[in-house]
Amino acid sequence: MQNMEEIYQQYFTTVNKYLFCLTHDNDISEELTQETFYRAVKKINTFKGECKISVWLCQIAKNLWYDELKKRKRIEDLKEEEFFNLESKEQLEQDIITKDEKLKLYQKIQKLDEKTKEVFYLRLTGELSFKEIGEVLNRSENWARIVFYRGKQRLKEVEENEGL
């Protein structure tokens, strides 16, 4: 059996292209490709060798895409029920919908420390819960919430200081 680094190097392009065919979106396919390999690392002991490893990885990728579609459906359903009536502390996440706003936000995120950037990327692009972020970074859910909250405060300060 190959190690995960070799598997990643050998099958990254295959999985990414497969996901792009499903999603028709490069950003989503890249995110899901990363998540595919993350799950593969966690579940490598369940691979029985009854199929090619590329087939196994693409099956994981397909399931992740189906999960993403379900999540998007739930969000659309919530939007219909006045989804945007959220507390102001959650408003920053909702304000980054347009690409221009996203670009500005990611430029500001670059000014944050590495751990805060990592939490922001997992939360905003990975759409992970604080609990999942804590698990990925070997920290607690509460730690992820605090880092995210403090990061939002720092982003607001950056925005005020730059007059944006």
Q: Residue 123's domain is classified under what CATH number?
A: 1.10.10.10
For the chain, the domain total comes to: 2
Q: Which of 4, 13, 9 is nearest to 40 (CA)?
A: 4
The pLDDT of residue 35 is 93
Residue 62 and residue 106 in one domain:
no
Q: What is the pLDDT of residues 55-95, one digit of tens each?
A: 888 889 888 988 888 887 766 665 555 444 444 445 555 45
- φ/ψ region of 49 (left if φ > 0, alpha if ψ in -120 to 50, else beta) reads left
Token reading at 35:
């998540």
Using 50, 70 and 90 to split pLDDT, how confident is the model at 122? confident
Q: How far apart are the first and last CA of the chain?
A: 53
Q: Which of 37, 34, 29 is nearest to 53 (CA)?
A: 37
- The residue among 80, 96, 113 that closes a domain is 80
Q: Residue 9's domain is classified under what CATH number?
A: 1.10.1740.10
- The residue among 80, 99, 134 that closes a domain is 80
Residue 64 and residue 98 in one domain:
no
Residue 70 and residue 106 in one domain:
no
The pLDDT of residue 140 is 92
Q: Which of 121, 112, 140, 141 is nearest to 129 (CA)?
A: 141
- What's the number of CA atoms in the CB half-sphere (13 Å) around residue 121? 17
Residue 87 DSSP class: -
- Which structural domain range is residue 57 located in? 4-80
Residue 93 and residue 38 in one domain:
no
